[in-house]
Amino acid sequence: MEKIIGIGNALVDILVRLKGDTLLEEMQLPKGGMTLIDEAQQRKLRARMEGLQVEKATGGSAGNAMLAFAHLGGNAGFVGKTGKDDLGKFYKENCKKVGIDARLLQCDLPTGVANTFITSDGERTFGTCLGAAATLQANDITPALFEGVSMAHIEGYLVQNHDLMEAICQTAMEQSVQLSLDLASYNVVASDLPFFQHLVQDYIDVVFANEEEAMAFTGKADPMEALRAIASYKCLAVVKLGGKGSAARLGREEVTAGVKPVPVVDTTAAGDFFAGGFLYGLISGASLKDCLRFGTLLAGRIIGVVGTKLPEDVWKEIRKELRS
């Protein structure tokens, strides 16, 4: 199978389940949002979390997508930056365990952490300290990182570093590597819309967005109109519609897929797992309809557990269902 690499923030998720919103209010973390925090805030937050039960997992949007892709049997890789610390070792070892070719760069800063707080309603709130992940720069991007790769999946959070994104896209294009972009967050898209439009117009082959991100990118409130507007950039457009399913459009072909209602425990990585499943279908030559179904299946499974870990017997069930 052709290889896909993810490029993004190499983060370790520290997952905490909360009964209420008190901690979020104390730490000024808007519920349901992603707030970037500095090292001082991270130390304060870590002290506040002492005594709470925590779980640890590799994270980051593109990293999660590759985790799902690899578990399906895909040939996965990842490019990011970690520290030379225990969390950096944890990240690398976990990638190796699941079969991800981790092309990790290192620096002297601590490995990035996504403190993930899950409330009883299944909502997740992030306090993210990027640490080493934020030091990935344009001069780190070399042709060797794309060796043997057919597609690179990029998380939209990197777009805030224009030089880095240009380097990734230019180098990928020179190496004949296709590019997939997850728009990542509606507020990130809205704050840097002209640059996002430039990337999609000039480089990107596949665009993933949820309803809010699609509206921020196109200005269209109707998600199907937004889908068509994104596809007009001559890319494969994919819009996730939450409980209403998903839709994809390439050229004149437009398909939709529904979802079966499932209990929601934690929505962490639902969009990332959707992307991983969709890309697995795409690289395998599946129809657009089946690509949507693959993505929907994975998203539905991951929202039923805390974090991004599914037992191997569940993965076996998923792989069997995809084959059928």
For residue 229, give Cα distances in angstroms to 193, 200, 210, 215, 222: 14, 12, 14, 10, 11
Strands of the chain, DSSP E: 3-7, 11-17, 34-36, 54-59, 75-83, 100-107, 112-118, 124-129, 151-155, 178-182, 206-210, 236-240, 246-250, 253-257
List, in sequence order, every residue forming a beta bridge with 237; answer none if it has no partner.
207, 249
- What is residue 266's predicted lDDT score, i.e. its pLDDT? 67
The C-alpha torsion from 97 through 276 and 55 to 96, rounded to 10°, is 10
Domains of the chain, first to last: 3-7+60-106+136-323 (3.40.1190.20)
Q: What is the pTM of this model?
A: 0.91
Q: Over 80: is that where the pLDDT of 285 sits?
A: yes
Coil, strand or helix: which one is 298? Answer: helix
Cα–Cα dist 215/210, whole Å? 9
pLDDT, tens digit, 9 for 90 and up, residues 205-238: 999 999 999 999 999 999 999 999 999 999 999 9
pLDDT, tens digit, 9 for 90 and up, residues 243-262: 899 999 999 999 999 988 87
pLDDT, tens digit, 9 for 90 and up, residues 89-102: 999 999 999 999 99
Residue type at 286 in one-letter notation? A
Q: Averaged over 167-180, what is the pLDDT? A: 98
| Mean per-residue pLDDT over the chain, rounded | 93
- What is residue 1's predicted lDDT score, i.e. its pLDDT? 83
Q: For strand 112-118 and strand 11-17, is the pairing parallel, antiparallel, or unpaired?
A: parallel
